[in-house]
Structure 1
């Protein structure tokens, strides 16, 4: 362990993900690696540290005492190493570059305000260009053709040269105006007694929620379909419509009453995707870092 010349430092990046996730498959997804490659790396790490690091528990893997002790110093070491390798601060401060991002309106509402605020401080000469959204399939094709640098969306598992990393897990809330007749006693029956507002980029009036209701021999009445989540708050504020909204899409200060859905509604995961060609671009990496989806580079 004293001679770094014989150590593959990429293993330490993989170790960091394994210790954070305590799960080989999730760590592999986070690193854009295959599950067998991550398992193989874990075996090499066990030999390197002479410790199991992760042990099987009744429901999941658990960290050994040595692994727990490694977490903090490993994270500090990796942060220092990234600073040595990239030294981006001066380069970012003077960079003049456009980063093209493909994302729909809901992810835009979740991500862009904080991203722009941070970028204006760390890289004021970098401009974000949000490109029109026409669905995930179109976005991935444009990423392959080099027409964009980043995608933030609900995405299927991707294969190289496309890579992805989980940004966030989102859940839905039922939203209605303050003083709505259903707000005080928000039961399933009260929810279904009022017309629903549905968001669909294709004008569809049914969503997976309708299948959940049908399985219970229930249905709802859709009163309005709109193409954008950003149109929803003012429509709710002036009517008795009820909508399901991603929790992060509710504008601060909106005059809306929010309730948990009265039956289970599956949320969604938002991923960041990029092409290998962008993985070593300092500016693109920085934008991805600010989004929370640090690019691991092509070595992964």
Structure 2
């Protein structure tokens, strides 16, 4: 599209900086502090933005200020435009992980933190000691808003329903296996479907429902299992399995970590289950950012470490 220089010259592009801060903070006071201006100046910028876009953009709510649908639609494109401008003026700034200082906020499930976190931390200390991580639990209900507000640099989860300004890439693929204490259940791999259903199961569910992918697969066979415990915490499951004659079905990579640490047994699942893909999501404005790109490359390298990918063989 051809740029209309005359029309664009009449727009104060600093207003986009104010808009980004307002949408991120959802508060005039905090947006003013974020951009280093007074509260009255930010209030004036909000007034000019409302006139420019013909929309209230932010309305008062009990918890502060709430963005309008028009404002939410603007958030991604505005942040992308500002990021491009920032990269343009910093085009000669090289990224050196050995000397860089930066904190990345990463949102991920606790299971993925156990699987990738130790090696990621070791790699950072060895290759980029000035880079630190702020790890946060996945909040699926507000994840995309957090990414758009620049509160999360990178999210890792099973699936995302992102928008055009969100970038995604598969980090690794995984299968399902069965995990149990062989001494308590008296089974050795590979176990049969009858043995699989002879013992009660531990289910991990973040939806607070006692139903999972295994139950769907068993229903197609006209079979069902007995659930002993349903828990939202992946990290509690191997300890439950270690102490009781129960079975659990989980992602293969994580199951092998738990088996090695706690002396448990891994067996192929005796029911057909589709493989899963763990993916990364980030805002498109960071797509070409050298530091962000370096972190994504490091994560892919760790995720494909053959020493930890034996379950995929």
Output the TM-score relative to the length of structure 1.
Answer: 0.64
- Conserved? CA contact 2:175–2:275, under 8 Å: yes
Q: CA deviation at 1:279?
A: 2.1
Q: 2:150 aligns with which of 127, 146, 149?
A: 146
Q: 1:120 aligns with which of 117, 125, 128?
A: 125
Matches within 5 A, 1:169-248: 169-184=173-188, 186-248=191-253
Question: Does the residue aligned with 2:183 lie in a helix, a strand or coil?
Answer: coil
Q: CA deviation at 1:275?
A: 0.5
- Conserved? CA contact 1:197–1:243, under 8 Å: yes
Q: What's the CA shift string for 1:158-202, capped at 9, x where partnerless?
A: 442100111110111100013133523721111111110000123
Q: CA deviation at 1:245?
A: 1.5
Distance 1:266 1:122 in 2: 36
Output the TM-score relative to the length of structure 2.
Answer: 0.62
Q: What's the CA shift string for 1:54-89, capped at 9, x where partnerless?
A: xxxxxxxxxxxxxxxxxxxxxxxxxxxxxxx9853x
Q: CA deviation at 1:157?
A: 5.5
- Conserved? CA contact 2:218–2:271, under 8 Å: no
Stretches of structure 2 that go unaligned for 5 or more consecutive residues are 1-91, 303-313
Q: What's the CA shift string for 1:272-300, capped at 9, x where partnerless?
A: 11112222333222211110189xxxxxx
Distance 1:189 1:255 in 2: 24
Q: What's the CA shift string for 1:41-61, capped at 9, x where partnerless?
A: xxxxxxxxxxxxxxxxxxxxx
Moved more, 152-161 or 205-214: 152-161
Q: CA deviation at 1:113?
A: 1.4
Is 2:268 the partner of 1:260?
yes
Q: 1:284 aligns with which of 267, 292, 309?
A: 292
Q: What's the CA shift string for 1:83-127, capped at 9, x where partnerless?
A: xx9853xx3222221100011112222221111111111111111
Question: Does the residue aligned with 1:201 lie in a helix, a strand or coil?
Answer: coil
- Conserved? CA contact 1:178–1:255, under 8 Å: no
Question: Does the residue aligned with 1:180 lie in a helix, a strand or coil?
Answer: helix
Change (3 A) 1:86 1:288: farther
- Conserved? CA contact 2:185–2:246, under 8 Å: no
Distance 2:185 2:301 in 1: 42
- Conserved? CA contact 1:109–1:248, under 8 Å: no
- Conserved? CA contact 2:203–2:231, under 8 Å: yes
Distance 1:242 1:209 in 2: 12
Partner of 2:37: none
Stretches of structure 1 that go unaligned for 5 or more consecutive residues are 1-84, 295-300
Q: CA deviation at 1:156?
A: 3.7
Question: Does the residue aligned with 2:142 lie in a helix, a strand or coil?
Answer: helix
Question: Does the residue aligned with 1:179 lie in a helix, a strand or coil?
Answer: helix
- Conserved? CA contact 1:173–1:247, under 8 Å: yes
Q: Which has the larger radius of gyration?
A: 2
Provide the alpha-carbon RMSD of the alignment: 2.1
- Conserved? CA contact 1:100–1:149, under 8 Å: yes
Distance 1:173 1:196 in 2: 13
- Conserved? CA contact 2:167–2:287, under 8 Å: no
